[in-house]
Amino acid sequence: MRPLTTGDPRELGPYRLSALLGAGGLGRVYLGTAPDGTAAVKAVRAEYAYDPGFRERFARELDLARQVRGDFTPRVLDADPAGTPPWMATEYVAGPTLHDLVRQAGPLPEDAARFLARGIAAALARVHGQGIVHHDLKPGNVMASPAGPQVIDFGVARALEQDRGDEEPTAAGTPGYMAPEQVEGAATTAATDVFALGGVLVYVLTGTGPFSDGHPAAVLYRITHQEPALDGVPEGLRGLIADCLSREPGARPTAARILQQLGGAVHPAEHARAWLPERAAALVDAAAEETRQDTARPGAPARRPAGEAPRGRRRLLAAGAGALALTLTAGVGAWAALRADTPRTQEAPGGEAEGAPGGAGGCDLPADLAPEYTEAARPDPRVPGADTHDQDVHSYPSLTFLQGGDLLALTHPEGVALWDTETGKEAAYIGADLPDFAQTPVNSPDGCRLGYASEEGGVHVFDLRTGEHTGYAEDLPLPAGAVAFSPDGTTLALAEGATGGGAHLIDLAGGKATTVVEGATQLPAHSPDGARLAVTGPEATAVVDTATGDEVFRGPAATASSPNALALPAPDLLFYLHEEGIVRADLSSGEEPRVIAPPDAEDRFGEIAVPPGGDRIHALIDGYDDETGDYRPELTVWDADTGDRLPAGEDPRYVRGIAVHPEGTVVAGLNPEGTSVLLLDPETLDATAELG
């Protein structure tokens, strides 16, 4: 930090500026304070401020940024693209960059690198799901805060495949972390960020990048002609990092797949020593203390209590030295804090989680599908059950995206069809001796298994690679209700429906069922970290701690029976349907649940889907065709914080049933006639493809 000079402003918007943090290509960054907290405030340079085209682009990127938010990417707090000068304020991060942290404290141990990788992958998965690419991920653009990594500098972010007329693409990238396609001048994609993530992990584990240092031309030559140097990378991470650094973009895993392979989502840490070794944690704490002293000086606006973030967000994001970049996007949804005593998933040789059928390595679908399923695929399929299901809404085919998002499962009265969303063809069909369905099938986090509850009782799990069929909980009262895999794939939650037996967790390795909620229940939903399970029934909606069975929330019952009437996108954030509208419950705040989206007049919601991150809600409003009387629900989009209905195209979009892509990039729904599946843009709801 440097003192302000006579040429620096003292205020921008509601922010009082107290120090200059640095200067970037587009302007200068200040430490700013307001009554609700501390921020990094970016003032745009004069030569850009007087360019109407720049102001328009700046405003457009700000609108994009406000659509997403998360724990591992700072959030845009406020902005004025029409101001003099144009400015924006973001949550500011306490701590050094990874580049500086490793230079001063040395390479990080494997545990710290894994936590770091999960945080960065979670942030990338969320922004990629919004159609955004970072373009310049590197150690200098990831801050090390007490809570974990913070991905910054999306100032060169662009919407994927977004047409900007005659604008020239922005050159981006840093030698040593540029993907081969960047070096060769091709378009950057989400896979480009994954390559850079691999390079960042090599740096934090070894102290140098995967293609060493030196003249930029020499580094770029090594990227396109030589293999990365991974000798110093621990064996447990070497294979994953090698996959990230593949020269072929299509061979790299997605950020969402990386997150799955590393064990799933993580909480922000409670303090630096919960995820960093002592020397590195001390550096992070020193940066936080410097900021605390600077903002606590006499005359500065009062700061909120430690750990209380702006606008009700519960994470520590105090300002700190080193973040100079314009942050234009946010990351993944709010996942609770990683504690030092949180048990880590034990890994067996080869990287598979012990006790998790199918392993944690994941499946490459449709390539790994069992031959008996692929050979059963029909050459000219129709939407399964469109000609045999009753027209009643509850018996219509249901949709589920499989992990990775390339396959879409559609139920059939006698089985499940797996459709390839790229080709529109049926990739596989599971139908031999398949008991009747009671609810929507679910896919395991590794993508390798398909499970569902049967009307005849029990739970059925199919291994998509081997064709093996396993039955569970067949001795429980009939009929079984809905099911949900835990995020680590080791258990399956079962709700018994109307039988009064309650909700259970089934150990898939041993088959043992443990009751976690008594009484009639349905619609189970896990939090992303698996720490909590939500269920609902005729009397109430409840959330329990899966480790202890303790009930942490109880509220009114959901009014819809659809499996998509309940969502737990974070351990402390619950959404469910009620006769008054969509209910939002912030579980740790102690506040009463609130209806955030009441439907108009006599309308009611029949189904909701919350994409990764929990920042918006897709909802079906029940309705009927005025002329035919046929069921005709309308798909709508709502802001999950404010409950505002978001604009989504000029004409209403009518679909039966919805499913959201694992990365939030696509929404699938049956057309009203039940003759095809529509793939829709998640924001505009424009149809991008039609299957069947």
Give the residue numbers marked as catalytic.
Answer: 136
User: Cα 434–435–438 angle (5° rounding)?
Assistant: 125
Between CA 656 and CA 648 the distance in angstroms is 17
Antiparallel, parallel or unpaired: β 687-691 and 132-133? unpaired
CB of 358 within 8 A of CB of 402? no
Identify the DSSP state of 481.
Answer: -
Instruction: Please state, in angstroms and rounded to a whole number, the distance separating the CA atoms of residues 258 and 224.
Output: 23
Rounded to the nearest 5°, which phi and psi values hold at 563? -55, -20
Please give the Cα distance from 472 to 528 (Å, whole number).
Answer: 23
Residue type, 458: G
- Coil, helix or strand for 525? strand
- Dihedral (CA of 499, 500, 505, 510) sign: negative
- Distance in angstroms (rounded) separating the CA atoms of residues 594 and 327: 31
Q: What angle do CA 550, 443, 130 make, to 5 degrees?
A: 90
Tallying the residues shown for the chain, one arrives at 692
Q: Tally Cβ neighbours within 10 Å of residue 538.
A: 12
Burial class of residue 101 in the structure, from the number of CB atoms within 10 Å of its CB (0-12 exposed, 13-18 middle, 19+ buried): buried
d(CA 577, CA 583): 6
Amino acid at 373: Y
CB 362 within 8 A of CB 447: yes
Residue of 663, 660, 612, 633 whose CA lies nearest to 408: 660
Coil, helix or strand at residue 31: strand
Amino acid, single-letter form, for residue 155: G
Q: Are strands 522-526 and 532-536 parallel, antiparallel or unpaired?
A: antiparallel
